[in-house]
Chain A
Amino acid sequence: MKIAYFPGCCYETSAREYDVSTRAVCRHLGIELVEPPDWNCCGSTPAHSTDRLLALAMAARNLAQVEEMGLAEVTASCALCYQRLALTQAELAENGELLAEVNRLTGRPYRATVKVRPVLDIIAGLGEEEFRSRVVRPLNGFKIAAYYGCLLVRPSKTKVDDPENPQMMDRVLRLAGAETVDWTHKTECCGASLAISNEEVVVRMVARIIKAAALAGADCIATACAMCHFNLDIRQEKVSRLLGKKYSLPVFYFTQLLGLAMGLNPKEVCVHTHFVDARPLVKKII
């Protein structure tokens, strides 16, 4: 399977682990990821919160490149990137006038033919048997709280799973041998980019999520979004101070966990670079 891959802006910085592990796992699963040659920002918050047309044009310019590459599908690991690309595709496909206007702005004619899927959906879409056969180091003893965040399941135009009790990530993690907990905060907001402007609010929001995961008996959290990971991983010190109780739940990208299960070296999927030390947990299976 050959598919275009949009890495997004965090791939060299805060979400390097997600990019590295996504590429490693996909390589292992026989999914060839091809980067568009001249991609730009997906049109996330700084753009879409100020100028709708600008945000659409930025995403459309990326999608146009995928068309030029002759590929039918594009995937993004980051949930924000996925949501911007998918929403743009949905809006342009149903509004010819808007498409013409956007094409005029980008100067890169787009025909609105590209299908946008998050990496989670691509991997979950593989056959169960095929997937199982790749698992050589089952995640025995892992009790994972699968955390989806908001953008994979909302709005309804671009959602890939049920917005209240999604199961997609739970399913692949269970196939990898882990146990996933039934918990209550799978799609609660992590505070997202308020991290920059109002950290106090974000810490309170993250605290609820961390607390709910711990109450459900999870020993770690799996995410599928760069923003979610960022907020959950680096704020646990502050959460502990707020709640008056020590929390240190390792926060993984689900691709890291799959990589481990498929026998990849922990360093290959970067489990050693998180704020909450994940290595003691990983040692369980190595």
Chain B
Amino acid sequence: MHRIGVFVCWCGSNIGGVVDVPRVVREVAKLPGVVYSTDYKYMCSEPGQGMIIRAIREHRLDRVVVASCSPRLHEDTFRKAVLLGGLNPYLLEMANIREHCSWVHQNDPEKASEKAVAIIRRAVAKAARLEPLVQKRIPVTRRVLVVGGGIAGIQAALDIAEAGYDVVLAEKQPTIGGKMVLLDKTFPTLDCSACISTPKMVSVARHPNVLLLTCAEVEEIRGFVGNFNVTVRLKAISVDYDKCTGCGTCWEKCPTKVPNEFDLGMSYRKAIYLPFAQAMPNKPVIDREHCRFFTQGKCRVCEKVCPAQAINYADQDKFVTLQVGAVLLATGYELFDWASVYGEYGYGRYPDVITGLHFERMVNAGGPTGGKIVRPSDGTEPKTVVFVQCVGSRDEAKGKEYCSRVCCMYTAKQAHQVLEKIPGAEVYVFYIDVRCAGKGYEEFYLRALHEGAQYIRGRVSKIYPEEKKLIVKGADTLLGRPVEVAADLVVLATAMIPSQDAAKVARVAGISADRDGFFLEAHPKLRPVETNTAGIFLAGTCQGPKDIPDTVAHAGAAAAKICTLLARPEMTIEPVAAEVNQKLCTGCLLCRDVCPYRAVEAKEIEEKKNGVLQRRVVAEVNSGLCQGCGACAAGCRSGAIDLKGFTNEQLAAEVAALCGW
């Protein structure tokens, strides 16, 4: 018979205010195997833990039950106490009598006390069947793959590299810099976005610990935390960067003009091009879709003019494989395609209805208009500018339910810029709410307001052209009447959505996304940069809409978490993992299909049957990948899989104890 100790926590009045703790202690003392039971105001506190440690020694306890809060909160705390008491930490079982009992039964203390006893009875039954588990140690590859070279990826790569670890920074575009480098000034300080991001681009590209891969896409991630095997596709760029000096002769002479993505199509680039002057790497690529040689078979102008003979038309996609210990996803965002659903705003047919990002390019001194705000239709300066917030955000009918968080602030900033750059301009902002939660944000909004931006609370129902103007019809819901503005330019604050490839990246990395496609963090409050797959981390807007300060903070946090993982040459992994009894396994591999972590693999074994050596397939669990969810154990048809720490026998005993069998 085991010697079980039960420790019941009051949690101040959280439990003690509802559950009759002394009575519970008296009753659980009678349970089979329980040799000691006690209670304390705060079991998680230092004295509370001390009680557990002393009791283990004094009463020679070999199993411990703590009845308190959710194991998510304090299982780790109490395991450490049990370890200090001299027991294997997995000989602890927790009974949740707070979330599962006192918090939900405040109105019925009598029955709550009864239920608390039942919950502890379950825990005692399981405790009697607990087995010691041993954490495994595995080596860690001290190198990190960062996917995405926007400000999040750059910041995290720099932080990790500065800590002394190797970083591979993979970006699918020909340059790093992401969306931030497109922006003009940033709220609320109005500092120039490019001036603060381009130096970081240079630092990360030149950092001795960083390997920068552009035009690179992650094709496959295999393995597990500490030991990933990654395949990256390097798309053919047709330029040999070892030879290229970035002199610029090729793109000067290239005869093919293509709308420039960097300016959202508002300017032209060549078919061999540098995305923008400060691009990093500062060397060109050939856009094969538009290049005259690749489409028509002749031209070769760039090859002729290149003084370094760096042009290589025969270049092909290459695949590289990398060993890394952790992967950081920083794949960023895109803008909601408003033109496909907002018919009331013209389905994108009116050239003077633009998005906030178009406005950023236009107002940027390095942009297509050299910093002049103009109407795309005729190049004239607009006198009346209307901003429409929440286009695609906070719109369940046509867009997304969520708030994109940055639009209120950048709209205020853009309103300020219009008023500053165009004397006598009129600015109207249609809004649902103005959300300015951030340091200096409300002050900035008020500044735009005092400068003369006219905020109208209400949605825009229709935009249509009338002669040279755009008529913006909406409602002023504070005055309770319809309004109409004859505008020269309309700027839509479109929602942030996950980048186009996010779903593919999630599949490759084996992580989940929320219903809007943003990557799901392991815990919304306590583990914001980790995913449910160990070793895969998140930074920036791929996890949800964020502004630049939040993105940088998120990326820094992810870098710190990754450095913690890499700080030791070996890592311990949770022993709560599934285990296959090969004798019972029939090799149906249903477990492989249900495993969300791709931790189950088929394995061929040899065994003697009736004296004959035979080969057959069985399932095997990779304990590095297994997260202990138990799906395979539940799915196994032949009962061959057991989850350590949650074995079938333990679960059956718990059910029996709960039902009073």
Residues of A within 8 A of B (CB): 162-165, 182, 184-185, 212, 215
Contact = CB atoms under 8 A, between A and B. Distances in A.
A162 B343 CA distance: 8
Contact of A212 (B342, B347, B466): B466
Contact of A163 (B343, B466, B467): B343
Contact of A164 (B343, B465, B467): B343
Interface string B316-346: 0000000000000000000000000011100
A164 B347 contact: yes
A163 B464 CA distance: 15
B219 to A, nearest CB: 39
Contact of B344 (A164, A185, A215): A164
A215 B347 contact: no
B463 to A, nearest CB: 9
A184 B343 contact: no
Nearest to B345: A164
A215 B467 contact: yes
Interface in B607-656: none
B482 to A, nearest CB: 12
Contacts of B466: 184, 212, 215
A215 B467 CA distance: 8
A163 B343 CA distance: 8
Given A163-B343, A165-B343, 12 more contacts: A162-B343, A164-B342, A164-B343, A164-B344, A165-B347, A182-B349, A184-B464, A184-B465, A184-B466, A185-B464, A212-B466, A215-B466
B549 to A, nearest CB: 38
B599 to A, nearest CB: 45
Interface string B412-427: 0000000000000000
A94 B349 CA distance: 38
A143 B222 CA distance: 63
Contacts of B465: 184
Report, nearest first, the 10 A-B pairs whose CB atoms are least far apart: A164-B343, A184-B464, A165-B343, A164-B344, A165-B347, A162-B343, A184-B465, A215-B466, A163-B343, A215-B467
A113 B410 CA distance: 53
17 contacts: A162-B343, A163-B343, A164-B342, A164-B343, A164-B344, A164-B347, A165-B343, A165-B347, A182-B349, A184-B464, A184-B465, A184-B466, A185-B464, A212-B464, A212-B466, A215-B466, A215-B467
A237 B349 CA distance: 33
B248 to A, nearest CB: 43
A59 to B, nearest CB: 26
Nearest to A156: B397
A182 B346 CA distance: 11
Interface string B458-485: 0000001111000000000000000000
A184 to B, nearest CB: 4
Contacts of B349: 182
Contacts of A164: 342-344, 347
A164 B462 CA distance: 9
A128 to B, nearest CB: 24
Interface in B422-473: 464-467
B396 to A, nearest CB: 13
Nearest to B350: A184
Contacts of A184: 464-466
Nearest to A164: B343
A185 B466 CA distance: 11
Contacts of B347: 164-165
A180 to B, nearest CB: 15
Contacts of A165: 343, 347
Contacts of B343: 162-165
A165 B467 CA distance: 19
A3 B405 CA distance: 54
A163 B397 CA distance: 14
Contacts of A185: 464
A215 B343 CA distance: 20
B342 to A, nearest CB: 8
Interface string B342-386: 111001010000000000000000000000000000000000000
Contacts of B464: 184-185, 212
Nearest to A211: B466
A182 B464 CA distance: 11
A40 to B, nearest CB: 35
Nearest to A183: B464
A128 B465 CA distance: 32
